[in-house]
Structures are given as C-alpha cells and as structure tokens.
Structure 1
C-alpha cells in the first residue's frame, strides 16, 4: 500500500526503518559536532553562548568570526584556533566565560534564595562543562606531544 521510500519522507510515521535510519544518522555525529552542539544548547551546557559572546571569545585569539548561526561560528573558532595553534588559549577563554556565568548564577542564588534549587541545576551543568573543557585541554596536550 505505501512505498517504503514514501514512509521515509514522513518523519511522523512510526516506522521501524525510519527509526533505524535516524539512529544511524545520530551515530555518525562526530565528537567535535557533539561538543559544538553541547555548547549551543543551554539545557545541556548550563550556559547560553550568544553570538556576541562567541565573537568576543574569538577576538581573544585574534579571530573575527562572521556573525551567523552560533554552531557555525563555534566551528569556525575551533577551526581557526587549531590552525593558529591557539586551541589551548581558546579553551582557557571558554572556561573563563563559563566560570563567570557560574559566578553570576551564585550571586543570583544568594540574592534570590527561593531559586537556589533551580539555579543549582544550571551550576551543576556548567561545572560539568568546565570538566569537559579541562578534559579537552588534557587531550590536546597529550595529542600535541604525539604529533
């Protein structure tokens, strides 16, 4: 009755083949793409990186990234920082940005104690992001010694 290709065009169909293909697409996502995605989803990272924030972080390594979608801007900064051997500086500046956000969250929590539980969730996510950035820096140092 329905051609399987037609079913694949409709994402609302609950079709096993469609679900399998979507899972394959998700698996193909690289670690780099997952990191960029994490940085642009506040519910996962605990912070919001605006386009101007991304530009400012880029300026710290001498990159004037054009304004466009935030993911694309971050990809550009990662690319240029690698090309310019400034990845560690970029990661340090990104970590500093996250630490500043955590400081702001703590101030909000103290000023508005009834929001402390909600804000603590954002702090926890941001602290996890800092740990990820630290792991990236350590991997960078390890790989830098190999290459």
Structure 2
C-alpha cells in the first residue's frame, strides 16, 4: 500500500501530556473570550464540576500538575503575555491566533516560571500546535519559543 494513504494512528495521551493539553484548552477558553486571568480558575472549577469523568481519570500527579499550572498561569498572566510580546517580531500580540497564544502562554509559563527544559516544552507544544493549529502554527510557535529561550539565556527576561 502506498505510504501516503496509510492510516496514521495517534499516540495515546497520558501522563503530564494529557494534563498539559487540558491546561492549554482552559487557557484557550480564556483567551478566546478575552476574559481576565482570574477567570481561568473559575473555568477549571466549572470544568471539574461538569467533567467529573475526566477528572476521575486523572491520577494525583496529573491533577496536581493541572491545578498548579492554572494557578501559576493566573499568578503570572501579565508577565507571561509581556514576555511573549517582547519576543514576537513583526506581530502584535492581538494578531497572534488564539490557539497559538494559548500554547505560547502554557509554554512560556512552564519554561520561565517552572524551569522545565525548553526541549521538553517545545516538543509537546509543537505537537499540540500540529493537532489544534493550522499547518504553519508549529513553526510560528517554535520561532517565538526560540526567541524566548535566547532572551532567558541573555538574562533579559
């Protein structure tokens, strides 16, 4: 069979990857509705109440990651957005697509405020960009994350 027509199976998501995707979706909801960062915590509470089945699937580590990430993004929301704005060339923040903004917020939070290695973050965020963004999203996000990494290494963040 021609490789171009073979069906590709998606890798099952588990562990922190699954929790990170949920963080992205919650941040996406806040960004899409142009809500305030404090509404992110409300979104998590509402999501938890309306999706008990999903919450019950998460193990303790995943649930803690989800909650701590939401808390961290909320606490650092303005700083995260400023970092993204300073490292985006020829684009205003508002011009960045909602999917891409949400992914950049999650990635920037983890890289700058949780000190997760950029390789780990970039890999997972790029995979999410390929799944939820358009065909060029991952390249755009990868470029901005590279700029953020350079700024961090120079000590300008």
Is TM (by shorter chain) over 0.5?
Answer: no
Give the TM-score normalised by the residue count of structure 1: 0.29
Give the TM-score normalised by the residue count of structure 2: 0.28
